[in-house]
Amino acid sequence: MRLEEITAEDPRAAFWRDDGTPVATPCLAAVIEPRDASTLIAALHAALPSERGGVEHLKRIRRGADGLRLVLATAAAFDGAADTDGYRALASAHPALRRDALARVDAPGAAPITRAHFDVGSRLWPLARPPAARDDSPTRGDVAATAAARLADADADAAALRTLRDAPPPGAPKCASGGAALYEPGGAAAVAAAADELRRRAADGDGAARSHPLLHAPMLCVEARARAARAARGRGAAPGSAYLCTGLDMVLTAEPCAMCAMALVHSRIRFVVYRDADDRCGALGSTHKVHALASINHRYRCWRVDDA
């Protein structure tokens, strides 16, 4: 059995040096009076949003020796971003925001990848937010120690699922009919499995579950977890994490599609292991790497198992 971690080239890396300092990127900023700050920030958000100016990773304002500085855009993005009726109206109403009144300032060119980047980069210009946390506690050895047994569970789950549900339509993602099982860290027994959830839905009289187009195996596992959390709350248990799969691991026979991969972001899964790649729909390596997107606020790790 071979394990390959699916990682992404991080486009932010080019903006941070090996010693952790930011590559300074020239930006244009206005010097403003503190009493005008809230009015100008609101007007600027409407007329020249920070993402248009390439400064969405920065706080808008920094306090300097000569007052407050309000960043509008990177120098590279300014001309294109400012070539709008909205900006022209803004600059005519607020002379401090006119092109010829702006000062050049240096700021980090991209969002931080590490907490150290956030701390060091914010000294050059305050960064909007620290990087999304990723749980680096699972090691390759931890994953390897549990992968074979868990994958056997997922295969058994896929076989059970096939007997319970209608055949997925041609072209459906592989995760629609694959097996899925959810584990506590280091746990040997699954806390949720797709086929179990489908059985429960059928027992509740939900006939549509057999062929529902959104009920892919990973979604069924997340739903099983939601059902267990509701039942625990009903018994008066203290509310746990605000997210359904915090700290849990999922093992899949097939690479999840974009819907399932993103559901695992939202539910805060710790890591995912899968075996069969899905060249057409797979979103953890084949067509996208949803688990490692720089722009989302949770990331998880992912390994592909080759058991040939």
Nearer to Zn ion, 44 or 252 (CB): 252
Nearest approach, Cβ of residue 216 and Zn ion (Å): 3
Given its phi and psi angles, is residue 184 left (phi above 0), alpha (psi -120 to 50 degrees) or beta? beta
**Cα-only R_g, the chain:** 24
Select the span of 30-38, 75-83, 143-151, 251-259 touching Zn ion (CB under 5 A). 251-259
Residue closer to Zn ion by CB (options 40, 217) is 217
- Name the residue among 254, 246, 257, 258 with its Cα closest to residue 300: 246
* Residue with Cβ nearer Zn ion (126 or 168): 168
For residue 71, what are the β-bridge partners?
Answer: 29
- Residue of 110, 106, 81 lying closest to 12 (CA atoms): 110
161 binds Zn ion (CB under 5 A): no
Smallest distance from Zn ion to CB 264, Å: 10
Give the shortest CB-272-to-Zn ion separation in angstroms. 12
CB of 251 to Zn ion, least distance (A): 15
| HSE-CB of 264 using CA atoms within 13 angstroms | 36
Residue 167: what residue type?
A
User: Of 121 and 256, which has the nearer Cβ to Zn ion?
Assistant: 256
Q: Could you write out the DSSP letters of every residue in 55-78?
A: -TTB-SEEEETTEEEEEEEEHHHH
Least Å distance, CB 223 to Zn ion, is 13
Binding mask 197-226 for Zn ion (x = CB under 5 A): -------------------x----------
**Torsion on CA atoms 41, 42, 46, 48, rounded to nearest 10:** 0
- Cα 77 to Cα 58: distance, rounded to the nearest angstrom: 14
- C-beta of 189: minimal distance to Zn ion in Å? 24
Q: Give whichever of 97 and 219 is closer to Zn ion, judged by the CB atom.
A: 219
Cβ proximity to Zn ion: between 57 and 275 the closer is 275
Interaction of residue 283 with Zn ion, rule CB under 5 A: no
The answer to whether residue 40 forms part of the interface with Zn ion (CB under 5 A) is no
**299 part of the interface to Zn ion, by CB under 5 A:** no
Give CA 49 to chain center in angstroms. 22
How many residues contact Zn ion, by CB under 5 A?
5
The only residue of 61, 175, 180, 194 in contact with Zn ion, by rule CB under 5 A = 175
- Residue span binding Zn ion (CB under 5 A) among the ranges 73-81, 106-114, 165-173, 271-279: 165-173
Does 260 bind Zn ion (CB under 5 A)? Our answer is yes
257 binds Zn ion (CB under 5 A): yes
Helix H or strand E encompassing 25: strand 24-32
Structure token pair of residue 127: 């960064």
> 129-155: string of b/e by CB count within 10 Å (b at 16+)?
eebeeebeebeeeebeebbeebbebbb
Three-state DSSP class for residue 91: helix
Q: How far is the CB of 182 from Zn ion (least distance, A)?
A: 15
Binding residues (CB under 5 A) for Zn ion: these are 173, 175, 216, 257, 260
